[in-house]
Amino acid sequence: MINAYLYCYSPAMYHFLRAKGIRYICVGVNEKTGGRFWLFEKSDTVRTALDEYSVSSK
């Protein structure tokens, strides 16, 4: 499935998703930037939370 995973580079989004009780699959480091990212599976729960995050971050 295309786009089955969310690569989250935003600490604010990461904390929002975790506060919703959503668990990440793994954490990694971008080789080019050295920035940390968290990998989430794009479930219906994650999609709903992302919609909520988009509204709350405006």
Confidence of residue 3 (pLDDT cuts 50, 70, 90): confident
CA distance 10 to 27: 12
State the pLDDT at residue 14.
98
**In terms of C-beta distances under 8 Å and separation of at least 24 residues, what long-range contacts does 31-39 make, across chains too?**
35/9, 36/9, 36/11, 37/7, 37/8, 37/9, 38/7, 38/8, 38/14, 39/5, 39/6, 39/7, 39/8
Task: Tell me which DSSP letter residue 29 carries.
Answer: E
pLDDT digits (tens, 9 = 90+) for 16-28: 999 999 999 999 9
For 12-55, the pLDDT digits (tens) are 999 999 999 999 999 999 999 999 999 999 999 999 999 999 99
